[in-house]
Chains A and B, each alone.
Chain A
Amino acid sequence: MNKHNQKYIRNFSIIAHIDHGKSTLADRMIEYTGALTSRQMKEQVLDNMDLERERGITIKLQTSRLIYRAKDGHDYHFNLIDTPGHVDFTYEVSRSLAACEGALLVVDASQGVEAQTIANVYLADKEGLEIVPVLNKIDLPAARPDEVIHEIEDVIGILAEDAPRISAKSGLNIQDVFEAIIDKVPPPQGDEDAPLKALVFDSFYDTYRGAIPLLRVFDGCVKKGDSIRMMAADQIYEVTEVGLFTPAMLPVEELRAGDVGYLTASIKEVKHVRVGETITHTDRPVEKALPGYQKALPMVFCGLYPAEGEDYDNIRDALEKLQLNDAALTFEPETSVALGFGYRCGFLGLLHLEIIQERLEREFDLDLIATAPSVIYEVTTHKGVTTMIQNPSNLPHPTEIASFKEPIVTAQIIVPKEYVGNVMELAQNRRGIFLEMQYIDERRAILHYDLPLNEIIYDFFDALKSKTRGYGSFDYDFKEYQESDLVKMDILINKEVIDAFSLIVHREKSVARGRQIVERLREAIPRQQFPIPIQAGIGQNIIARETIRALRKDVLAKCYGGDISRKKKLLEKQKEGKKRMRQFGNVEVPQQAFLSVLKFDDE
């Protein structure tokens, strides 16, 4: 076989809902083609981060070349390009898909189509990919392949009748998957003689070799010693090595049109090889970069503070290290009256936030306090100045604001039909705009809603789960910034505004949120000598109020027969508690009170 005959190359991804068996299928395909012996093969090789394996999701991409001898007698090169399984990483998914000609759509034969399946199919469709459905877990007693095929055809609108029916776990019918790919996914059709045009669909950081981009060569070829240019970052490097993933890194002579592999060029920073970047030669560049490059835009923000003050520098070091591998993570120093020194971090979404937080705690052994997540607002003044605002204290005065916009996402929610009412109620409460509803089968419906991102970053998923007894699934996609009736709400303790508590809310939600906050504060602030009003206000209007009653008695009755050590100890302990309090005028507010309002997991 001519190694570079593109006819025998297939580049594909696997897309699936969490738990539908994407990684298991990848493992089986690698095993089947003998790319790794089973001894070498860790369970689910493609998910190589502990955290990923634990959560059963893919965060960082892995990729592998598989050589398969087909029924037609030819050896085919399959490049399996893994995709992250979550919408937070939509952009990454889209770039991975852009590197392929086709995608395997794995659907659990008992669970059927889920929200995430659909979101991923939309993405694959947008990239013009050939979608090859695969029914997995066919050996489960609950499998209902015929119904699920109908679902796929009805909801997704692709033919699924001759979809391979497999068990990725046992390896049943894996060969059918390879054959289906050969049949359906078109081979790459690049021009080897054209100027180099390669897409970066992922990168990782190696301590010794720097940032290493994973790329798909569309046209031309690239080899060691070439001088290359990153078109978006406008950086020039000299290639020191090119290679393939087997999935281990295997250096080769060159990568040609249609190939998928990596290159090293002593690239110092991951941000020079961001996902979506186009690589070309300096001496013979392409005229136009590949379309679709976006700078990763953080959508969700939260403050990360050390639980112990001395961790401040360690957090920065850890964030810097994570950033080497994750261009989407942003952070800047921030000071909070309540929490001291910390960092305001930007994430692609809530899962991204959770993953980063967990990695910081697990891999760097940090003890963190995370503030409630917030989104970024777009504010335009009458003078026509538009700013993106995430900290309420940076808001212009209300009279100067001409437009106040918040991010809106389009969400797909799939639920058993008996819960449709509950979900509609939930979406309504979250200011959702109903778009449409379809029935997937006799049991389940898919609801489409526009929802403010602000309404889902907090606890939407938990609420959905509890309103659907765990059956609801949910996915979303950023849509646009929309004008909204947003207000800044202040929290006043003893008539004094406490900056750290100010927040931006929708006017309709302000009373409920205000009540919730003042109630929590009333519980968390210890009583003091005088009554303390706790208020939530918008401008001059007080919309919620609680009062902490005055403390009338605080004295230990007894001094034991000359033994005052016990009393001293008690007072010492209280003094330690007092140290951790913040003084606002006459009022002492304990750290716990701030946490009860600011902290993320305290619903």
Chain B
Amino acid sequence: MMNDLGLYVHIPFCQARCHYCDFVSLCPRPGDIDNYLGALEKELLGFDRLFDRSIIETIYIGGGTPSILNLDQTGRLLEMLQPLRKAVTEFTIEANPESVSDEKVRLWQDHGIDRVSLGMQTSDPLWLKTLGRIHTTEKVAQAVDIIRQRIDCLNIDLIYGLAPGDKTYMKTLEEIIGLRPQHISIYELEVYDHLPLAKMLSERVDSDESFEQFHRLMSRLESVGYQRYEVSNFSLPGFEAKHNQRYWKRQNTLGVGLGAHSLIDNKRFNNTADLTQYLAGERIEHRENLSSDEALLEEIMLGLRRVKGMNYRNLIKQYPDRSDMIDRFVQQQIQLDRLILTDDCLKATQLGLDLLDRIVLDFMSLQ
């Protein structure tokens, strides 16, 4: 039987590490990237049988900075993926403005990439510096020009919640809107104590201000035709990201590359984040079979992130021995105005989307 699958390919290299970044990323030493591509090829080969019985619907090359690869390396990577993209309906690559060139974009286009996700984060020069981003605002516009010559579908990221009293995020949004991407993600800055940024920011934005900032961004986005379809994601109608939706729907996704995570038939596994180990072929770091309760928690935690919510009847059908608990939970959250249930559709209200972590915690307490 053929199953659908999403494929994530991680390119862990960056020219410079962003001060807020908590992903698996490193500055490549000479030879690293080529060695890495070799290891990646081996890893892909190991999934032969999975690929044989799967229809790969989406491919997402993320990082790190996939655009950091030079033309040869880009070509090599995309050749590897060539046999896997027969049925692909969305093929995304992440890029940073400073590493985009016409030749590279042409190579992307030639190999079927039809969506580019551009890390912009902020248009404010001071904030770009604070966040450790190495591009400039002009570079973003140039990069968009170059990409748009060949690939139309674009996502741009924005980060808000930079500092109390900060106003630059609205200016950034205006610039992004001016570029008219089909998809915009807005993320709140999360500062982990171990990151360089934690020392640089003296004051953090509280939840009230975060709320204000987010809702200001959302109103503006909606006023120009973008629709929120997930907690942090907006798009023009019809341009919702297919690959990312797989995560929220808990559809099978295979992650390859350093530190990549996979979910296949309720089994989660992930690769090591240690490059030396990975290059030596010791890839899998952790593997777990999710229990029914764990899977159910994930359904709630991820499914309610989608504005459309989830199918209630299917949920009950999937977890019949938990139906009482699910029902109690749903009633409780409806009382609190956080969820609504219409026909079979269970979804978060506007309030619920703002308090989603509370909803999940309440669910965990009942579980």
What residues of chain A have their CB less than 8 Å away from a CB belonging to chain B? 527, 529, 549, 551-565, 567-568, 571-572, 574-575, 578-579
Contact = CB atoms under 8 A, between A and B. Distances in A.
B134 interface: no
Contacts of A558: 187-188, 190, 232
Contacts of A549: 208
B190 A556 contact: yes
A556 B357 contact: yes
Contacts of B356: 554-555
Contacts of B260: 561-562
Given A554-B356, A556-B190, A571 B10 contact: no
B365 A578 contact: yes
Given A529-B338, A556-B357, A572-B364, 9 more contacts: A553-B208, A553-B211, A555-B357, A561-B10, A564-B247, A564-B301, A571-B364, A575-B361, A575-B364
A557 B187 contact: yes
A559 B188 contact: no
B228 interface: no
Q: Pick from B186, B232, B358 the residue with the most CB of A within 10 Å.
A: B358
A553 B8 contact: no
Interface in B196-235: 207-208, 210-211, 214, 231-232
A589 to B, nearest CB: 15
B207 A553 contact: yes
A559 B187 CA distance: 10
Top 7 closest A-B pairs, CB basis?
A553-B211, A555-B356, A557-B188, A552-B211, A562-B261, A563-B261, A557-B187
Contacts of A527: 207
Contact of B355 (A555, A568, A572): A555
A574 B263 CA distance: 25
A559 B357 contact: no
Contacts of A560: 23
Instruction: Identify whether the interface residues of A are mostly helix, strand, loop, or mixed.
Output: loop
B361 A561 contact: no
Contacts of A551: 207, 355, 358
A168 to B, nearest CB: 55
Contact of B361 (A552, A565, A578): A578
Contacts of A568: 297, 301
B158 to A, nearest CB: 11
A557 B354 contact: no
Interface in B237-296: 247-248, 253, 255, 259-263, 268, 270
Given A563-B270, A564-B301, A552 B364 contact: no
Nearest to A553: B211
A366 to B, nearest CB: 30
Contact of A554 (B263, B268, B354, B365): B354
B98 interface: no
Contact of A571 (B208, B210, B261, B360): B360
A561 B354 contact: no
B357 A571 contact: yes
B190 A557 contact: yes
A554 B8 contact: no
Nearest to A552: B211
Contacts of A565: 261, 268, 270
B93 interface: no
Is the interface on chain B under 10, 10 to 19, 20 to 34, or 35 or more residues?
Answer: 35 or more
A567 B360 CA distance: 11
30 contacts: A529-B338, A529-B351, A553-B207, A553-B211, A553-B214, A554-B207, A554-B355, A555-B231, A555-B353, A555-B356, A556-B357, A557-B187, A557-B231, A559-B247, A559-B302, A561-B8, A561-B60, A561-B255, A562-B255, A562-B261, A562-B262, A562-B263, A563-B259, A564-B261, A564-B298, A567-B301, A571-B360, A574-B357, A575-B364, A578-B361
Given A561-B260, A562-B253, A562-B262, A553 B210 contact: yes
B62 interface: yes
A529 B297 CA distance: 22
Nearest to A563: B261
Nearest to B6: A562
Interface string B1-44: 00000001010000000000001000000000000000000000
A549 to B, nearest CB: 8
Contacts of A564: 247, 261, 298, 301-302
Nearest to B358: A554
A527 B354 CA distance: 14
B207 A552 contact: yes
Interface string B49-61: 0000000000010
B354 A555 contact: yes
B336 A529 contact: yes
B347 interface: no
B85 interface: no
B305 interface: yes
Interface in B318-367: 336, 338, 351, 353-358, 360-361, 364-365
B282 to A, nearest CB: 19
Contacts of B302: 559, 564
A556 B301 CA distance: 11
Contacts of B207: 527, 551-554
B221 to A, nearest CB: 15
A552 B354 CA distance: 7
Interface string B175-204: 000000000001110100000000000000
A552 B232 contact: no
Q: Pick from B10, B231, B305, B357 the residue with the most CB of A within 10 Å.
A: B357
B355 A575 contact: no
A560 B21 CA distance: 11
A559 B358 contact: no
Contacts of A556: 188, 190, 357
A362 B336 CA distance: 48
Nearest to A558: B187
A562 B247 contact: yes
Contacts of A567: 301
B104 to A, nearest CB: 22
A235 to B, nearest CB: 56
Contacts of B23: 560-561
B358 A529 contact: yes
Contacts of B253: 562
Interface string B62-74: 1000000000000
Contacts of B259: 563
Interface string B296-326: 0110011001000000000000000000000
B292 to A, nearest CB: 16
Nearest to B338: A529
Contact of B8 (A557, A562, A574): A562
A579 B364 CA distance: 10
A560 B298 CA distance: 14
Contact of A559 (B208, B210, B305): B305
Nearest to A575: B364
Nearest to A561: B62
Contacts of A561: 8, 10, 23, 60, 62, 255, 260-261
Contacts of B262: 562
A180 B339 CA distance: 89
A571 B336 CA distance: 20
A571 B355 contact: no
Contacts of A554: 207, 354-358
Contacts of B268: 565
Nearest to A567: B301
Nearest to A562: B261
A563 B255 CA distance: 10
